[in-house]
Structure formats: C-alpha cells, structure tokens
Structure 1
C-alpha cells in the first residue's frame, strides 16, 4: 500500500477518537471534541454541577498562558476548551484544525448567550468544558503547513519564520533547506540537544542546531517563539505526520515512586509482596486501548489479515486477537512511520537510540508496550494518584467493563448461567470514567499486553524495573469484560503465552519522553 493511503487510514482511525493532527490539504470539520459531539448550530457549555447549556459563546477570543508562550486564539478558530483541571492542573484549547495548546486560560468569565434566552456571564471556575459549533469554513481552505509536536504533548501547525537554521555536524555546518527536509527530531536526553534531520531522499543527518529559539506563525493565529529544547519533532511533509494521530491520544505520566502490588490486604498471591518502585523518567501512555480502526490501518499497510471482531463491530472497540509479537510489530511500524528507531528487535528485546539491546526502558526511543511497572503506575494515576483500587475509582462500575456490567443487563457475576446468556461483550473505548491522568479502560474491557516476561514479585525496592528474563509467558494487565470486578483492580496480574491470540486481550502503547 502506498504511504499516502496508509496515512489516510491512520487519520481516519484517529478521527474516531478526536485526537488527530489532520494531514489533508482541506481540513474537514471535527465532529467531536473532548469526547463530546459538536453541534452545527450551537455551542455547548458543560458546567461542573452537571448542567449542560446550549447557545453561543460571545467572547471574541481567549488567552492562554502555556509553558512556552502566551497566545490569543480567536473563538471562531476554537473547537473546544477543557477547563476540567481547574486552577491546579493544566487546561487546554483545541483549535478548529485540531491543534492543542495547554496551560492556564486567562479569561475570568465566559459570556454565553443562551438559545432563546438571556446572555450570561459565567465564572470560568464553574465551567468544565466548552464545545464550539462546527465551523469548517473558517479553516477548511488552509493548506498543509509544518506540524510541530512539543515534549509537553502540545501540537500545532504553523509556518516556521526563522531563517538560516544551521545544523552543526562533526564534519560540516549544513544549512537546512525545509523544501528537502522530511522531519527534524530533537533528542531530549542529550546535552547539547542532539538533532536528527531526515531528508526527503532518505538520508539522515545527526548534529546540533545552532539556534535556540524558533519563531512560528501559528495557523490558529499568533506568532510565537519556542525554545528548541521544548520541541520533540517537526514534520515538513504531509503524509509523514500521520502516525502522530495515534500519539495525540497520549497522556503524560511524570516520574515518581509508588508501592507496587496489592496494598489492600486482599487479592491473589502473585500480587504480593508489595514493594517500592521508582521511575526516574517521564513517559507517554495511550489514553485508550489501540482500536480496531487503528490496528486495521496497520494490517492494510503491511498486508496482514484483519482480526475478527466477533461480530460486534470493530471501529473504536479495542483490537483483539492480537498476539504479543503482533503488538510489538505494530509499535515498530508506528516508529518507522515517524522516522524513529524501532523499540524492539526480532526477538522482542528493547533497543536504545543506537540500536543496541537494553534492559532500561528509559533508553528506548520508539513506540512500545508499557512495562508492567509503568502500566500499574499509570493505572494508579501516577503522581496524581488518589489511591483508588480500580483505575480512577473505588467503585468498579464507574471505570470498569467487567462480566457483571458489560452485557445486556447488570447481573450477579457469580451466576454462570446468566453470564453465558447475557452476551457480555467488548465495549467502545472511553465510555467509562477516566482515571486521574485521563486514561480510560485500564480496569476491564480488554486485558493489555505489557513488555515484561511474567515472574513473581520480591520485596526489594526497584528502579525502572523491566523483567527481561526469558520465560514462557508475557504479562497481561487490567482484566477484561469477562473478568470478575475483583480481577480488574490496578494490582491484578495475569499472563499468557506471547503467541496466544485471545478475544479478551488487546494492548495500549507508550513512549519514553
């Protein structure tokens, strides 16, 4: 399949989840934003007390202070605004062309004219989300411009105004010609910052950028200067950015320590003993399990047969019947789509930025499956954890699709006869509440492959753990729609042969920051 066709498939898949950097020359309207369907004739205001108002946002523009710039975004260029985090957490603006800017929104009041009603001045602290009506005509004629993805998870299109950018290599100083540049990757762990430039002819050049700030004129308005250390990647050619569509589903998990294992005194023996785990690096992890739409794009691009959806309809349900080796090949494929080094060799070993086998997940550049420790830390809410037993709640039904609630009716999960007749099934991703990091379905729906081989716990503290010791099974986590609720806790563990294809096993992906 041609690369352009593959890119289109990826974008279509990601559009279903409202997280795509659109790569088509003419940008269609985003039909949903912030998990809410956009109307064509009204704006929506979702309040913290549960009220939903329809009408028109009267503010002409909104200001947001990000970690890299202060910018104003005209309201007609906004698709949605997320104020859910409140004063203590990051808020965000999603532009009509599906660009994301996060930080703190400065405006104190939302001026909102109710449909067939008065105009209200509502304090921003009372607002959860704002979903603006579809306005495809305002940005639909914009041509594709370079796409910039930042290390904090923000992403946007814009023209790079900075001229005469020089890449200093060990053998020469090379002026960058954007017309022949496919992408620029800035490796954040090195000092000075290592830059990898991939050219349209397939060449790759390593060096140091002889400039600190890059000036960008945003498609959504405003001219900003971004310090190069804040940039993860710049894509200059449409069709080479499409894999970012999946990445935009990611949540940032900041480094920290936690107690791994069952901390409630119940559970199975393999969830014990509890032990301290420290992760010394930040990483991204998928907000959702990889869906059939996304996995099918991979199958089409690589000539694979598509997996069964058991007649339930694939779409944005988690992809299943995926063996562990299929999952890591999906990860490697995404990495190659973006010009990143692969995370795995053919044996399933981690690879570092030099292509050498490593057992340190912090040294892996490409997309990969989370380690078991990363998975549990993220499921618990990372450094924002509130100590919930399930991922986001102490009540399984709030966050988990399990055997008692995933069928046609709520049932006693111990009643086997009803369980068989109730037709429990996999649900579309993101329908239950998220956890503290905005991650969905980490309890229940489908079990998820991790990178590690399965082994017993020990009580000794661990730093950046990853079990690379060869055994017959790989770890799976989270429980599934077939599981008892007690098997979908953040500490619950299971395992399976890596060549097994189960109708209850899927995966989500991650990437070291």
Structure 2
C-alpha cells in the first residue's frame, strides 16, 4: 500500500560536518512499510537475502544497484514508466540474476523525474515522511515504534509489527536501514549513497529521524533494505 505524503519542507543535518540545510518537498507516494520478501519475489527469481523466512519479513541484503533495478522491473511489470535510465551493462544484469550490474563507481544513472514508475525516496523525502509533522528525534517512544538492538532479540522482524507514525508509515525507524537516492558526500566519499532509519541491530541513538549512514552502492548486508516511492501522476 502506498501512502500519499503531503508536501512541505524539512531541515536535514549532518553531525560529521555540523552542517544543516532546508529542502522543499513536493507531494509524493511512499510505501507504508519496507519492501517485503514476498514483494521482492513478485519481480525476482533470486533474492539477495537467500529467501529464508516469512514473506512479510523485509527484503534485506539488497544493494543500492539491486534496489534501482528492482524499481525499474516492478514499474515495467505494472505498465509504468521506469524512473531510472541505467547503463546497458547495469540494466542487463537485472534483479533476476542477482548481479551487481554497473561498477558502482563510474556507471552513470539518470533519474527521470517525470516518470510515474517506482523509485527510491530522496533523503529529504525520507526524513520528511519519517517525521510526519513531529519535531523530536522520533515520532514516538522507541520501543513502541521500532525494532532495535534493545528489543529485537538481535533478529529481523515482520513489517508492521510496531506502531506507525502519524501518517500511517510503519518501520520508518528500526528493523532495516533504507536506501535513499542521494549521494552522501561525493567530494569526500565518491559514489557512496545515503541510508536512513536504523536497523534491528542498532543501538537506540542510531534510530532517530536525523541519523545519516553511508555505504557503497554495491553493499549487501542483512540490516539494509528499501522502501518504494513514486511521484504522483500529473
């Protein structure tokens, strides 16, 4: 289920550089919960996470490249215009074979912002949706809203098991980190992309609306997944 997220503005911050910046956000659609294993299986035949466990567990061990190829494949399956234009080498190594696609460094990808297909949220869209009009570090008491190291039993959990935020979005904090479209800091970290939200193995201080993590776009690890976004049709 996709939730309509209203437009607005959000102020992002980075503790490493002590920098903050405000971004205007247009209305968009965002999945009510992270992509599940069942959802991933509708498009793929080989899942990076090995496919162990129930279908409502988050799809994890998904690289950024896996995520953008999944978005394009799902868009085509539903008759939507793919949001991403990938190099031939990256597009041909589709999600069905589990390959890495492009080199993760210099491969060029273009986001068609007029496309109505599935995509990753921008970092600003992610934080705007996570906060859902709240102003604190979290949209509720941590144990009520998130699976983290203190309550997860050090394992992943089915989506939707904690209380949603005021806009009806589940697991925005905890359970799995979620890829965003944005580069983290290309001048310092090159092709590294942004991850948001914290995961089931993270301490409480990592499960906050403002926390930023970075990783190489080919990374696959058991506490990283994705959440689908879409731009509304004109």
Q: CA deviation at 1:277?
A: 1.4
Distance 2:80 2:51 in 1: 34
Distance 1:370 1:453 in 2: 12
Partners of 2:60 and 2:171 in 1: CA distance:
14
Note the aligned Cα RMSD (angstroms): 2.2
Contact 1:289/1:507 (CA < 8 Å) preserved in 2? yes
Q: Name the structure 2 match of 1:283.
A: 28
Answer yes or no: is 1:336 the counterpart of 2:76: yes
* Cα gap change, 1:426 to 1:479, in 2 (>3 Å): same
Question: Kindly tell me: are residues 488 and 310 of structure 1, through their superposed partners in 2, closer, same or farther at Cα, counting changes over 3 Å?
Answer: farther
8 Å contact kept, 2:86–2:110 = no
Q: In 2, distance between residues paired with 1:308 and 1:276?
A: 36
2:49 corresponds in structure 1 to: 308
* Structure 1 match to 2:180: 450
Q: Which runs of 5+ in 1 are unaligned?
A: 1-248, 263-267, 353-360, 408-423, 457-466
Q: CA deviation at 1:307?
A: 3.1
- Determine helix, strand or coil for the equivalent of 1:386: coil
- Equivalenced residue count is 212
2:191 alignment partner, SS class:
coil
CA distance in 2 between partners of 1:343 and 1:429 (Å): 25
Shift of 1:250: 0.9
- Higher-Rg structure is 1
2:206 aligned with 1:487: yes
Q: C-alpha displacement at 1:398, in angstroms?
A: 1.5
Pair 251,283 (structure 1): closer, same or farther in 2 beyond 3 Å: same
Shift of 1:298: 1.4
1:401 is aligned, of 147, 153, 170, to: 147
In the TM superposition, what whole-angstrom CA distance separates every residue of 1:284-331 from its partner, at most 9, and x where no partner exists?
Answer: 00111000011112113xxxx2333585x1310100111111111110
From 136, 146, 157, the equivalent of 1:427 is: 157
CA distance in 2, matches of 1:296, 1:470: 32
Taking the aligned partners of 2:150 and 2:189, their CA distance within structure 1 comes to 36
Q: 2:110 maps to what in 1?
A: 350
Q: d(CA) in 1 for partners of 2:130 and 2:219?
A: 24
Higher strand share: 1
Deviations 1:73-96 (A, max 9, x none): xxxxxxxxxxxxxxxxxxxxxxxx
Write out the 4+ residue segments of structure 1 that deviate beyond 6 Å after TM superposition. Answer: none
| Counterpart in the other structure of 1:511 | 230
Give the Cα separation in 1 of the matches to 2:134 and 2:85. 37
CA offset digits 1:350-381 (Å, max 9, x no partner) = 343xxxxxxxx4x3432100011111111111
Structure number with higher relative contact order (C-alpha < 8 Å, ≥ 6 residues apart): 2
Equivalent pair of 1:287/1:439 in contact (CA under 8 Å): yes
